[in-house]
Amino acid sequence: DAGVIQSPRHEVTEMGQEVTLRCKPISGHNSLFWYRQTMMRGLELLIYFNNNVPIDDSGMPEDRFSAKMPNASFSTLKIQPSEPRDSAVYFCASSIGRAGEQYFGPGTRLTVT
């Protein structure tokens, strides 16, 4: 069975550029989560969706970050404009229901120079 799919796996971009990260959750999972992991701050929840609806985006650092989930099988996390402090590994995870265990994608390693 396919797990959570994320693309790209690695992204290197220059400061000021737009970055779009993509996620395909596990089929049948109705909750989707975006996380950011850095050495300094650990693993932080950015936003989560339930049935394609954003439920809690309080972890989104600022207006430069936006996330969408147009359908049950696809979500994007966009950073515009990107800054060097956005460099991190971004994980997408999905679960059956908000309370279920989350299954993580392989992550996207973002480097902003």
Partner 1 sequence: AQKITQTQPGMFVQEKEAVTLDCTYDTSDQSYGLFWYKQPSSGEMIFLIYQGSYDEQNATEGRYSLNFQKARKSANLVISASQLGDSAMYFCAMREAYGQNFVFGPGTRLSVLP
Distances from the Cα of 28 to the Cα of 15, 72, 96, 97, angstroms? 37, 8, 7, 10
d(CA 4, CA 62): 26
Query: What minimum distance in Å lies between the beta carbon of 99 and partner 1?
Result: 6
* 34 or 65: CB nearest partner 1: 34
Query: Which residues form the interface with partner 1 (CB under 8 A)?
Result: 33, 42-43, 45, 48, 55-56, 89, 91, 93, 98-99, 101-104, 106-107, 109
Query: What minimum distance in Å lies between the beta carbon of 59 and partner 1?
Result: 9
Query: What minimum distance in Å lies between the beta carbon of 3 and partner 1?
Result: 9
* 81 or 106: CB nearest partner 1: 106
Per DSSP, what are the bridge partners of residue 46?
none
* 56 or 81: CB nearest partner 1: 56
Could you tell me which of 90, 96, 91, 89 has the C-alpha nearest to residue 72? 96
Q: Judge contact between 112 and 15, C-beta under 8 A.
A: yes
